[in-house]
Amino acid sequence: MEREDPGAKNYPGLIDEAVDKVRTGDREAFRTIIHVFERQIYTYCYYILKSREEAEDAVQDVFVKVYKELGRYEKKVSFSAWLYKVAYHHCLDQIRKRKRRIRLLSLYKQQQPRAYMDPGLENPVESLFMDQLTPEESNLLILKVVEQYSFEEMGQIMECKPASLRKKYERLRKKLVQQRTNEGGRSHETMAKSN
């Protein structure tokens, strides 16, 4: 399965060129980078943080951080992977802060993610993310299935071993596949496995 780096797919040199321009002082060139990636990063943050407002703040914070640290981007990973790395760590920070806030409010029990969800979600994919997946699982799913990074690349984004990501991902796949309906209907996958 060929991995697509969105920036590379459209125009291989575009992002590298923009990065070089920004590094030599052309601040406006950063706008190109924002335009190419903002929707993906917003989507990623939305499904991890499970909140529209937090995702809007996060996407802006992530790009500002990326701009600040552009000097550190060494082109060893693809630019989008490096972008996700910043986004991933930012979202983790936000979640940690959120948990700290919640712990401090002794009136509340550990809030369900559903509290942040937009009301009236019809889309089963959205419900899956909002109700059934932890942030770690959402992250894995997005990077592997939507962005289609290899485990090696994901290891660089999340700063952990590809092997452990492979295991986590396998568990996640099982979880997705084993969801059953209330009526007890079984998916084809589990049928196949039991045979």
Partner 1 sequence: MKQWQNRTESQKMDDIRQTLRNQAMPKDSYSSQIMNQIGEMDMERRKKARRRSKIIKKTLVAVSAAAVLGTVVIATGFISPAWADTIRQIPIVGSVFKITEDRGLSTAGDKGLSTAPNQSVTHDGVTLKVTDVYYDGTRLAIAFEREGIDNEQVVGKIIPKPIKFDPSVKEVKGSRSELDQSVKGLLGIPVVKLPSGEEVQSGNTSTGDIEGKRNTMLFDAKKLLNTDALGNEFELSVSVEVAQIAEPFVFKVPVKKVTEGIIRLDLDQTKTKGEFSYTVKKLELTPAASRLIIHSKGAVPYSSEQTGDYSPSAVYYEIVDQDGVAVKGGNHGVIPIAGLQHPIVDESYDPFAVTPTSITVKPYTLTFDKNLKVLEDAKGQMIKTYITELEQTIQIP
> Which residue is listed with tokens 């950063």?
30
Provide the token pair at 55: 């995702």
Contact 74, 114 (CB under 8 A): no
Determine which residue in the list 1, 16, 54, 68 makes contact with partner 1, applying CB under 8 A. Answer: 68
187 near partner 1 (CB under 8 A)? yes
Q: Which of 91, 96, 97, 78 is nearest to 156 (CA)?
A: 78
CB atoms within 10 A of CB 189: 13
Determine which residue in the list 8, 16, 29, 136 makes contact with partner 1, applying CB under 8 A. Answer: 29
Determine which residue in the list 110, 123, 194, 195 makes contact with partner 1, applying CB under 8 A. Answer: 123
Counting Cβ atoms within 10 Å, is residue 136 exposed (0-12), middle (13-18) or buried (19+)? Answer: middle
Determine which residue in the list 5, 47, 84, 156 makes contact with partner 1, applying CB under 8 A. Answer: 47
Provide the token pair at 25: 């002082």
Q: For residues 161 and 35, give the distance between their C-alpha atoms in angstroms, rounded to a whole number.
A: 31
71 near partner 1 (CB under 8 A)? yes
CB of 109 to partner 1, least distance (A): 26
- Nearer to partner 1 by Cβ, of 109 and 159: the residue is 159
74 near partner 1 (CB under 8 A)? yes
Amino acid at 117: M
- Nearer to partner 1 by Cβ, of 8 and 95: the residue is 8
Q: Mask 83-122, x = binds partner 1 (CB under 8 A)?
A: ----------------------------------------
Q: Mask 125-144, x = binds partner 1 (CB under 8 A)?
A: xxxx------------xx--
Determine which residue in the list 145, 152, 164, 170 makes contact with partner 1, applying CB under 8 A. Answer: 145
Contact 29, 21 (CB under 8 A): yes
Amino acid at 74: E
